[in-house]
Copies of this chain bind each other. A is one copy, B any other.
Amino acid sequence: MKLGVCYYPEHWPEERWPTDARMMRETGLKCVRIGEFAWSRIEPEPGRFEWDWLDRAIDVLASEGLEIILGTPTATPPKWLVDAMPDMVALDRQGRPRGFGSRRHYCFSHDGYREEAKRITRAVAERYGQHPAVVSWQTDNEYGCHDTVQSFSPAAREAFRVWLAERYGSIQALNEAWGNVFWSMEYRSFDAIELPNLTVTEANPSHWLAFRRFSSDQVLRFNQAQVDILRGRSPGRDITHNAMGFYTGYDHFALGEQLDVLGWDSYPLGFLEMFRFSDSDKIEYARTGHPDIAAFHHDLYRGCAKDGRWSVLEQQPGPVNWARYNPAPLDGMVHLWTVEAAAHGAEMLCYFRWRQAPFAQEQMHAGLLRPDGEPGPALAEAGQSAEALAALGDIGKPVRQAAIVFAYDAEWITQIQPQGEGLSALWAAFDCYSALRELGLNVDFVPPGASLEGYALVVVPCLPHVPEASIAALRGSGAQVVIGPRSGSKTAELTIPDALAPGALREVIPLRVVRSESLRPGLVHRGDGWELTRWLDHAEVDAEAELVSDDGVAACWRSGRFRYAAGWLTGSLLRQIVGRGAEDSGLEAISLSRGLRKVTTGRGVFWFNYGPGQAEVDGEQLGRACWRFVPT
């Protein structure tokens, strides 16, 4: 795995550039990501380009042997462009224009802006597409950041109508698919369809799901336009994009198909604080991150990436500016996170950012250097990581053990229709991932329908819509399979299948869900060492009730190598069921001590200790924020 860094030459005096480049090389960094926010410097006025500074910056970096990842600057269109095309901005769900003054102030469906994005992409690609130091391109930056995938603009409405006409063919087909007869919501033409926001009460969930699919597709169309230009003008270079954490606004499997390498931005401390972890975890792991945050995304995006090529395009090097609270990593954590990415198979990791900027929105976001240009605490850990990775040599790839089947539309469906507050396919997947990792297992993420070959254990946490191919994949696999509730409960249009839940999954486990309950926290059914919480399926079943609560509620049915959970896959019930699946799978599953994680590669075993205490590994103590590799 190569190390790199994100750098903004436009923020610093030109005379400093050589020093920075030299220090990067001396730290052991090989790559430098630049340019993704520099539109106003590249094209300060409409049509007038200033390339000189960027030419020189690239040359200075290249002169130290650094490889350049060049970003298209389309995430930050300059003010003059917004002034020329005021309707290029997105409208938020409340119908308000999302104004200039930060970033991502564009609507994916605005034709004028898409042309401008292509124009600037062409200009940059033509200038640097053949530059020997430019080895990779990043399209735009963090699609969807600040909730920007969905736009409720006139442009989006117009594009949505076109998209719907293409998908459904006739308005009668759409009305039928959505069940618009329900509240006289039938349309007489595609031109009558509105966006689903600002309705009196919730819009038809099928309407919302179509809008979510459309919004995802608009991102993919936008990205593909840049990819096409870059492939034409800069052949032989990898194209990448930086995805985010716990973000599902578009289909990352589909994005992965368009790219050579799927990147993501890893901020373990910020994500811990901002996402749904318990208050006690937020304190206990405040300076390490929860042990599954980074790994979950490493494995998820490896699964989303075409050919499994992925990287970390931004790695947290210290406190950030954007979380509710922003503590610093423990000494050693930046190094641990770096090695952990390598263990999970990353081909590159870039720290974000080289030097803390003393101005603007992210002035409190740490870099490898302090704002005054002196080394910050993470610089040494970056250097230490470069040395350690070199010393490790070929570490092998993670071996196949367990798989989680995950789909982006699963999360869209549970967001649109949670039925019980907070129930989410994404977080079901995270909980299942944690449970598997606490057993010391490697986990891959697989989209529904893809092959499950090589896995001894497969978990389907929550897959409301199960495509046909997925049934075949489950049948074709010899794995132990755990299926969570709501799986197979919906058609592709977010309606209930004729055969009821779990729909076509009946082919693998003979049951029919005839009633589902969502349960408020505190309403539980207790069994021997487990509690059923949050959800309860009642079913007509031709299978063994493997877990039954003290008050007689079946919590898990089993039929051959398939288990179906009647309760939500979380907490003690999840651990109970996954533990049984793992046992039956023949995998070597062990109960790791709190905060300890294991990655098994073709060459050995990595151990990572997120704490809170020391852990015992192979009879020796492993300190908090420490890792070890045991070759096989």
Contacts and interface: CB of A to CB of B under 8 A. Distances in A.
Contacts of A206: 359-360
A571 interface: no
A519 B286 contact: yes
Contact of A40 (B98, B181, B420): B181
Interface stretch (A293-301, A316-324, A452-460): A316-324
Contact of A324 (B146, B326, B421, B496): B421
Interface string A71-98: 0010011111001000000100011111
A229 to B, nearest CB: 20
Given A199-B99, A370-B514, A325 B520 contact: yes
Contacts of A377: 515
A196 B361 CA distance: 12
Nearest to A181: B10
Contact of A496 (B327, B371, B374, B495): B371
Given A206-B360, A363-B205, A523-B286, A101 B372 contact: no
A328 interface: yes
Contacts of A100: 185, 194, 199
Interface stretch (A102-110, A388-396, A588-596): A102-110
A287 to B, nearest CB: 8
A11 B184 CA distance: 11
Contact of A520 (B178, B273, B376): B273
Interface string A358-390: 111111101000111010110000000000000
Given A192-B83, A204-B360, A523-B283, A102 B517 contact: no
A518 interface: yes
A95 B96 CA distance: 8
Interface in A177-221: 178-188, 192, 194, 196-207
B363 A41 contact: no
A433 interface: no
B522 A283 contact: yes
B421 A495 contact: no
A622 interface: no
A499 interface: yes
Contact of A204 (B188, B361, B366): B361
A97 B98 CA distance: 18
Contacts of A362: 182
B185 A40 contact: yes
Interface string A306-335: 000000000000110100111110000000
A498 interface: yes
Given A102-B199, A200-B98, A417-B364, A186 B40 contact: yes
A111 B197 CA distance: 26
What's the interface size class on A, roughly? Answer: 35 or more
Contacts of A102: 183, 185, 199-204
Interface string A496-524: 11111000000000000011111110110
Contact of A200 (B37, B103, B282): B103
A496 B326 CA distance: 17
Nearest to A38: B184
A451 to B, nearest CB: 31
Contacts of A182: 11, 37, 357, 359-362
A285 to B, nearest CB: 10
Contacts of A514: 370, 374, 376
Contacts of A179: 11, 357-360, 363
Contacts of A73: 184
A170 interface: no
A325 to B, nearest CB: 4
A236 interface: no
Contact of A325 (B148, B283, B519): B519
Interface in A419-436: 419-421
Nearest to A73: B184
A232 interface: no
A279 interface: yes
Contacts of A181: 10-11, 40-41
Contact of A201 (B79, B83, B273, B361): B361
A523 to B, nearest CB: 5
A246 to B, nearest CB: 17
A104 B179 CA distance: 18
A39 interface: yes
A44 interface: yes
A237 B603 CA distance: 84
30 contacts: A11-B181, A77-B184, A79-B185, A80-B188, A90-B200, A99-B199, A101-B194, A101-B199, A102-B200, A103-B183, A104-B200, A105-B200, A146-B200, A182-B357, A182-B362, A286-B519, A319-B518, A321-B417, A321-B419, A324-B421, A325-B523, A326-B419, A326-B517, A327-B518, A359-B495, A366-B515, A371-B496, A371-B500, A372-B498, A372-B499
Given A94-B94, A103-B201, A104-B200, 14 more contacts: A39-B184, A77-B184, A102-B185, A104-B201, A146-B201, A148-B200, A178-B360, A182-B360, A205-B361, A324-B420, A325-B421, A327-B517, A328-B538, A371-B500
